Structure 1
Amino acid sequence: MEVNNPTTTESPSKTPEEQATPILCTHCELPVPKGLIELDAEHQFCCNGCKTVYEMIHACGLDPYYALRQRADAQPTQAKTTDKKYTEYDNEKFVDLYTHPLSDSRRAIDLVLEGVHCAACVWLVEKLPQILPGVLEARLNFSKALLRIVWEPGQVPLSKIARLLDSLGYPPHPAQSSDASLIQTRADRKFIIRIGAAAVCAGNNMLIAFALYAGMFSWMEDEYRTLFRFLSMFFGLIALAWPGQIFLRGAYAAIRTRTPHLDLPIAVALIAGTIAGIVHTLTGSGEIYFDSLAVLILLLLVGRWVQHRQQRRADDAVQLLFSLTPRTARLLDSSHVQDLNSQEDDANRGGIEVPIESIKTDDLIEVRAGDTFPVDGIITYGSSAVSQAILTGESKPIPVQTNDKVLAASLNLSSTLHVRVKQTGSSTRIGKLMQFVEQYAQQKSPSIQLADQIAGIFVITVIVAASLTWLAWLYLNPATATEHAIALLIVACPCALGLATPLTIAAGIGRAANMNILIKGGAALENLSTTKNVENQCSSKPTIFLDKTGTLTRGQTTLRHFHAPDSLKPAVFLTEQSSSHHIARALVDAFSVDTNIINAANDLIITDMAQHPDGGIEAIIDHQRLTIGSPSFFNAHNINITSEHQSIIDQSAADGLTPVVLAYSHDKNQSDESIGVCTFGDALRDDAISSIASIQRLGWNVVILSGDDPAVVNDIAAKLNIPHNQARGGLTPEDKLNIIKQHQSDTSAPAIMIGDGINDAAALAAADVGIAVHGGAEASLSAADIYLAQPGLSSVLTTLALAKRTRRIIRQNLFISLSYNLIGVILAALGIINPLIAAVLMPISSFTVITLAVGGNYASLKKSIQQLDLQLNTKD
């Protein structure tokens, strides 16, 4: 079967000069570089990955994929394949960790796939059982790119399934499962079922109540009235015994621990109302309260669910560790150790991929260029450049060689290394850092809400008031004593008090989410809002500590200056496309926005290229030699750097930038002199200067904490008008953590940490409020209380305004609910309202609180922000 691909209608046998339009790749429909065009070939491919994927799809008879992709209007995307063999997938340890048995002959595994981008991908992947015997089921969750595979290990090994997925353009990775996450998921489901049961009981009881209340004003036969009362009791008892038992258990725990808790008056009201309702149902006289009690249980459960969802932290150090380091390592033994003079390429060196759990101290592993180190260890062979930005925040790569130490989670940039394992798992530096994160996240207790502060007094007051009411009416009118005491308990039930804080917080978090500010819980909002008068309470200002790389700056190497002829750009772009070095990626990213450069590059032909491990790359392009490298590479290869270019190099070093030198020569054998210099660095975010100035005008002290070179940090601080003594460079993650702890021990002023990297995670967890910025690493997001999903720091000002408003609404709602309960208690104690009226009045306070909590619109928040802006302008 041939593919009906409209992109190949032009005959590929024509010369490039005869082509009216660029030749497009048969698989991905992107332009084919001139150097890869095969004039006599029927199909053209822009890269080997697309060619491999097309051949596999065609061989399996899955050509309808292309028609489906066209109908899905998917964006052109190059196919990604690897040379991995996936032998570690058949390892016994791997099977135990990532798969689970369904029967004696079947197992299942969840795989995260790269390259999933449209509905056609779903169709293609789910055809797996038809093309590979032994695969019984393949179900792909498109939104998560999560594939569930069910297969028979006796018929097909898992490694073969993984290789097939890879050859289709979807390299797989095992999805990390978590027992704690599964337990939490089950608990969440049980709670939702509990809420559903409460809703069923409340709904049925309300329908029955309508019939009974209607019967009060029209004639109803006694047998039907009795039937409805018993049905109401039936649903009321179910509501109390099943969904309502959570409050009974909470009350029992409060009594046992002698700690007053809001569950105690709730349980007293539920039990008293239920007993009174049962007595009245059995005697056939008096009011029953099962409808009100069932609705009360439902509302309280919903409020508790909201609070539970907003305050729960599902992260731990083990999950963070798995997100930072590879799950496999390439294990070498004595027969695989490469001879130093060997010319074998990386793909033929041997070694086997094994789960990281199988690696032990003193094992020898291989880490290739572009891979992340899975362990802490010592280099035994090779030299390379390593990026430790994820650990230290240092943006410049560090050269390493034999006998140097390397750390897990850092990135190998240049060439293959052999590493002797010294620490694995939680014993590595990154593992210990994640333990700090977990420790301080647990120690940082939530801010004490006003509802909790008054809970003990409220509980005791309500119970004492109900007892005194019963005793007083027992003396005045014994027949109504119990009725008035029950009325007091019902009307004073702290439903609104329990809902006030979580619903207001939930509403504030919802508003923030719509403004690209993600907040984990109310503690962060309250801690931010308590800074208003802190300057008058202590000698030290509230302080915001900021990481530099990725927070104040863009967090990635970018091309800052191109001091060379523009005519060189296409050749540089074409040459650097094949390199994985971060400098090469920066050049490609900078030039890829210019279609003229891309089109010109497609007209060039590379006949030879060599990438040197000592920091340079050379290519023969249209019979001319292009050399790109560091100044030391040029000196080592005796390529002259002109005095003009040397001055640029010296100035870039003083500015904290990285210089790269260019040479272009007609001599294919040797470049004789530099022709230009490119400089690279990490640029300030666009809003950094204005945002820092606004934060300082609000009274905050701003301090930079960075792992970068102190000279670079001081240069950034000067641009941001931050005092020299408030800019700290060359810091380790532990240093940042200690600075936060020292600030907290020296002063009561709050410490706010804003960062994006793994090196900030422990400080984010230890700070009073941790804020992770857009583009941050997963561990920093997990450790932080607030995540700014929008690039830049301007969202910090919006967050401050939101925190202030949310705290004001919480106080307002607590005041209203307490005032309402106080009035209701007085009326019930005086005998003015009976249990029926109390049951009607009780939900009104909850409705009022809900309306105030969620009924506000964005205009009020915008007004707060406008007032903040006005305040800043006035201070100017």
Structure 2
Amino acid sequence: MHTTFMPSAAADVLCAHCGLPVPEGLLEVDAEQQFCCSGCHTAFGILHAHGLDSYYGFAERREAPVRASGRSYDEFDHPAFANLYVTALPNGLSRTELYLEGVHCASCVWLVERVPLLVPGVLRAELDVRRSLAVVEWDIATVPLSRIAQSLDTLGYPPHPFRGVARADMRKREDRAMLVRIGIAGAIAINVMLAALALYAGELNTMDASFTRFFRWVSFAITVPAFIWPGRVFFTGAWASWRTRALHMDLPIAIALAAGFVRGAMNTVTDSGPIYFDGLALLIFALLVGRFLQQRGQRMAVDAAEELHAIAPSTARIVDNDLVRDIPSEALLPGMLLDVRAGESFPADGVVIRGHSSVNAALLTGESRSTSVSVGQMVFAGTLNVESPLRVQVEQAGETSRIAKLMRQVEDSAKRRAPIVQTANRMAGIFTAVVLLAAATTFVIKSQLSAAHALDDAIALLIVTCPCALALATPLAITVAVGRAARRGMLIKGGDALELLATPGIIVLDKTGTITEGRTALAAWHGPDWVKPLVLALEDGSSHPLADGFRRAWSGFPMATVSASRHFAGGGLEGTVDGHIVRIGSPRFVRESTISIDESMERVMNDLDRTLTPVHIGIDGVLVAIAGLGDRVRDDALDSLQQLRGRGWRTVMLSGDAQDVVASVGRALAFEAQDSIGAVSPEGKLAFVERLKATSGRTVVMVGDGVNDAAAIAAAHVGIGVHGGAEACLATADVYLTRPGLGALVELTEGSRRTLRVIRRNIALSIGYNLIGASLAVFGLLTPLIAAILMPTSSITVVLGSWYSTTFARSTTTESVS
């Protein structure tokens, strides 16, 4: 096949597969179809060979070149992969769920679901385009899963194992069941209210007795299903309360519902007295809605084992008899030899046996500066290899690695955490006992005078003091506050965090990524501007964090021309840029080739902030510039910390960074000297937080963003993960701040204080209502009918009070949810 270059006028030729313009260098003379890349050529050939040309009839289809990775996907055939992601089906079949990259329209669905025609042995392939999730069933004896994965990759849909399937399905089923209950309860309540409306209208206009009887029986018949299914959850809870001899708020609710229903049924049969069915049906609906909202607000915690997979890579590249192949990280064993390239994370703990590089361990240790590693030194799973390829011998993998041990400490801390009982729950036992005792006493005393009036007064007491308002007082206020906080970029997992944050205590803050921006930035520059394009050109191809700091600082500068460059591990870069020999790197590295250093540069070297990483720039043998790179303190840090201190909070900075760096930042942000603590390991952070909890007698809040903070966050009374934090840190945190900076932390503490005030007011209103209603019922001044009408009043008051109260600001901001 002859390939030649065509003139630029032919650039309008479009790729036969993806429809994008074909580069001039890939145009083929006299070819019927032209392709923009080899991937599209291969995909077109596969479809054409299998008679699937109708794919090209879709009006909307893939508009991106096929970038096949060329991976073997051998790890998909490993037994460890099968144990994690493959389900065995009858008749020797298997099923798995794969996340596919590049899915976006109906043509993708059509193409993926034709995989059984492309790969013999595949029985079914179904694609959920919204979730990019493909379900594949195949005969494992006919074709390995790796072959199926290769076919998907060749078509432009690189597959990945899908995690969290069981949890997602379980939560979907639970939500669907609860929503069905709420829907049925709501429909029943509406219909019962319509029948009740007819009865109320009939009382005013003297309805015929036969019609009155008819509507009473209709109300009874419609209400029965509400008790059989939607309302059954309250009776189940009451039965569990009775069996465990622990008074629960479901018990008086169930007794009130049962008493009202039984009395209403008796009055329906005898055709006398009130029937209460409208109030009961509405109560079941309102309580189910409140329970659903509370349940949804507590659904943000993630299993620590899942987060272990998110931190460490899911696959590892091992060297076996000089052959490099991929296997699942779960299959790694001590003694295996790993090949870890620049820019990749280490999948296990191990010892470097070949190579020299630098490692970014900020995720694990909090150290903002990369550290050099060489032969004989340890590296840890989850940390990042920055500069050069390394060969690492596995020492600890999976559950025995350092990161896995940290995850177990996180889990243990979460289990040891003392449960914060809500204000309403603290009163539930006493309230329930008092209501039941008052109702029984009313019935016993008044039954000596009139049994019928005694039962009506007791039922009126149970109905009017039904603790629905008390049950809704806390979750409604919390739900409204959590919703408004979320719109302000503060995701709160539970009401206990709001209650604890309402009272000033001790806030322990990680430095890297919390107080600082968590990334390398150019903080000092001493040199002429004409040097900057040369530095930028040489650093442009580097993956080192320091190079990223230069690129961000000088993104608008023109790019010079690099004719040659070389990287020196642990030293820096050297290259020819616009005819100049440029050397950038550590002071020692640049001095090796520097002929001249003038006095001004000597002064800069002596005066440069010791917390910054010095980078020297030599051009043609002369030291012409010195840069200082470091982790910038957030712009709002000082003001936010001062506001917290002014409200009674003690602030402590706890970091894995060097003590001199932490002390310098602490002085700039007005920390007390003893509260700026550096060189602390993840285990040390956990011990520090637990010691504060045991000795301070105050609420201890831990704020951080890394895996090194996760155990301390779980151990604290309240753990807060900040914007950009590691998944494990965020999973264990009680609150996640999606807005960068510490301003959201100030708003969180103030909003929590206001929320607790609203909760206390709601509880006071509901108790006051119940006391007044109970007094009227006990003295016979309240009939069951009036009690049923008044019953929702306290709940409505609580709902309106929670909604219109100022907890967190209502308005959204452009900074809110990232």
Report the TM-score, using the length of structure 1 for normalisation: 0.82
Length, aligned pairs only:
788
Alignment of 1:525-540 (within 5 A): 525-531=498-504
Which residue among 452, 461, 467 is the counterpart of 1:479?
Answer: 452
Q: Give the match for residue 800 of structure 1.
A: 749
**Shift in CA distance, 254/548, structure 1 to aligned 2, threshold 3 Å:** same
Q: Distance in 2 between matches of 1:414 and 1:303?
A: 54
Look up the SS of the partner of 1:554 in the other structure. Answer: strand
Q: Give the match for residue 657 of structure 1.
A: 612
Q: Give the match for residue 17 of structure 1.
A: none
The Cα shift of 1:546 comes to: 0.9
**Shift in CA distance, 255/767, structure 1 to aligned 2, threshold 3 Å:** same
The Cα shift of 1:147 comes to: 5.2
Q: Distance in 2 between matches of 1:811 and 1:53?
A: 65
The Cα shift of 1:404 comes to: 1.4
Alignment of 1:2-401 (within 5 A): 51=37, 82=69, 84-100=71-87, 104=91, 108-112=95-99, 119=104, 123-124=107-108, 127-130=111-114, 133-134=118-119, 136-137=124-125, 139=127, 141-142=129-130, 146=133, 157-163=144-150, 171-177=158-164, 179=166, 182-218=169-205, 224-312=211-299, 314-333=301-320, 335-336=321-322, 350-401=323-374
Q: Could you tell me whether the CA contact under 8 Å between 2:358 and 2:570 is conserved in 1?
A: no
| One-letter code aligned to 2:118 | P
**1:787-842 deviation digits (Å, cap 9, x = unpaired):** 22111111122112211111111111111111111111111122222111111110
Q: Could you tell me whether the CA contact under 8 Å between 2:26 and 2:36 is conserved in 1?
A: no
Q: Give the match for residue 567 of structure 2.
A: 611
Alignment of 1:423-434 (within 5 A): 423-434=396-407
Which residue among 816, 838, 845 is the counterpart of 2:765?
Answer: 816
**1:522-551 deviation digits (Å, cap 9, x = unpaired):** 1111111123xxxxxxxxxx3211111001
**Shift in CA distance, 712/170, structure 1 to aligned 2, threshold 3 Å:** farther
After TM superposition, the structure 1 stretch with the greater mean CA deviation from structure 2, 209-218 or 793-802, is 209-218
Q: Could you tell me whether the CA contact under 8 Å between 1:80 and 1:115 is conserved in 2?
A: no
Q: Could you tell me whether the CA contact under 8 Å between 2:590 and 2:617 is conserved in 1?
A: no
Structure 1: 5+ residue stretches without partners? 1-7, 14-23, 32-36, 44-48, 337-349, 532-541, 666-671, 863-876
Q: Give the match for residue 647 of structure 1.
A: 602
**Shift in CA distance, 752/242, structure 1 to aligned 2, threshold 3 Å:** same
The Cα shift of 1:750 comes to: 1.4
Look up the SS of the partner of 2:633 in the other structure. Answer: coil
Q: Could you tell me whether the CA contact under 8 Å between 1:98 and 1:177 is conserved in 2?
A: no
**Shift in CA distance, 272/129, structure 1 to aligned 2, threshold 3 Å:** closer
The Cα shift of 1:680 comes to: 1.6
The Cα shift of 1:276 comes to: 1.4
| One-letter code aligned to 1:566 | D
| One-letter code aligned to 2:635 | D
Q: Give the match for residue 513 of structure 2.
A: 550
**1:298-350 deviation digits (Å, cap 9, x = unpaired):** 111211222222234532221221111111112333x12xxxxxxxxxxxxx3
Q: Could you tell me whether the CA contact under 8 Å between 2:112 and 2:127 is conserved in 1?
A: no
| One-letter code aligned to 2:573 | I
**1:56-111 deviation digits (Å, cap 9, x = unpaired):** 676678998999699x9xxxx99977553322123233134223467758655444
Which residue among 543, 548, 558 is the counterpart of 1:580?
Answer: 543
| One-letter code aligned to 2:703 | I
Pair 1:759 & 2:732 matched: no
Q: Distance in 2 between matches of 1:546 and 1:771?
A: 9
The Cα shift of 1:759 comes to: 0.9
Q: Could you tell me whether the CA contact under 8 Å between 1:386 and 1:413 is conserved in 2?
A: yes
Q: Could you tell me whether the CA contact under 8 Å between 2:354 and 2:375 is conserved in 1?
A: yes
Alignment of 1:557-706 (within 5 A): 557-591=520-554, 593-594=555-556, 596-597=557-558, 600-601=559-560, 604=561, 606=563, 608-621=564-577, 625-634=581-590, 638-640=593-595, 642-643=597-598, 647=602, 650-651=605-606, 654-665=609-620, 672-706=621-655
| One-letter code aligned to 2:521 | T
| One-letter code aligned to 1:835 | P
| One-letter code aligned to 1:478 | A
Pair 1:494 & 2:494 matched: no
Q: Distance in 1 between matches of 2:765 and 2:366?
A: 49
Pair 1:735 & 2:684 matched: yes
Look up the SS of the partner of 2:740 in the other structure. Answer: coil
After TM superposition, the structure 1 stretch with the greater mean CA deviation from structure 2, 471-480 or 679-688, is 471-480
| One-letter code aligned to 1:801 | E
Q: Distance in 2 between matches of 1:155 and 1:798?
A: 60
Q: Give the match for residue 747 of structure 1.
A: 696
The Cα shift of 1:852 comes to: 0.7
**Shift in CA distance, 110/859, structure 1 to aligned 2, threshold 3 Å:** closer
After TM superposition, the structure 1 stretch with the greater mean CA deviation from structure 2, 381-390 or 61-70, is 61-70
Q: Could you tell me whether the CA contact under 8 Å between 1:372 and 1:408 is conserved in 2?
A: yes
Q: Distance in 2 between matches of 1:584 and 1:167?
A: 35
Q: Distance in 2 between matches of 1:663 and 1:829?
A: 93
**1:11-51 deviation digits (Å, cap 9, x = unpaired):** 599xxxxxxxxxx99999999xxxxx9986659xxxxx995
Q: Give the match for residue 866 of structure 1.
A: none
| One-letter code aligned to 2:473 | A
The Cα shift of 1:563 comes to: 3.8
Structure 2: 5+ residue stretches without partners? 1-5, 29-34, 48-52, 812-818
**1:580-622 deviation digits (Å, cap 9, x = unpaired):** 222223333333x31x52xx45xx364x443333433344455
Look up the SS of the partner of 2:459 in the other structure. Answer: helix
Look up the SS of the partner of 1:259 in the other structure. Answer: coil
**1:487-539 deviation digits (Å, cap 9, x = unpaired):** 111111001110010000111111111211221111111111123xxxxxxxx
Q: Distance in 2 between matches of 1:256 and 1:87?
A: 55
After TM superposition, the structure 1 stretch with the greater mean CA deviation from structure 2, 366-375 or 647-656, is 647-656
| One-letter code aligned to 1:487 | A
| One-letter code aligned to 2:723 | H
Q: Give the match for residue 833 of structure 1.
A: 782
Q: Could you tell me whether the CA contact under 8 Å between 1:205 and 1:235 is conserved in 2?
A: yes
CA RMSD of aligned residues (A): 3.6
**1:671-697 deviation digits (Å, cap 9, x = unpaired):** x44443333211111111221222222
After TM superposition, the structure 1 stretch with the greater mean CA deviation from structure 2, 424-433 or 210-219, is 210-219
Look up the SS of the partner of 1:330 in the other structure. Answer: strand
| One-letter code aligned to 2:566 | A
Q: Distance in 2 between matches of 1:235 and 1:565?
A: 85
Q: Could you tell me whether the CA contact under 8 Å between 1:195 and 1:301 is conserved in 2?
A: yes
The Cα shift of 1:746 comes to: 0.9
**Shift in CA distance, 178/407, structure 1 to aligned 2, threshold 3 Å:** farther
**Shift in CA distance, 354/50, structure 1 to aligned 2, threshold 3 Å:** farther
The Cα shift of 1:384 comes to: 1.7
Look up the SS of the partner of 1:682 in the other structure. Answer: strand
**Shift in CA distance, 413/522, structure 1 to aligned 2, threshold 3 Å:** same
The Cα shift of 1:222 comes to: 5.2
Q: Could you tell me whether the CA contact under 8 Å between 2:713 and 2:732 is conserved in 1?
A: yes
Q: Distance in 1 between matches of 2:739 and 2:492?
A: 13
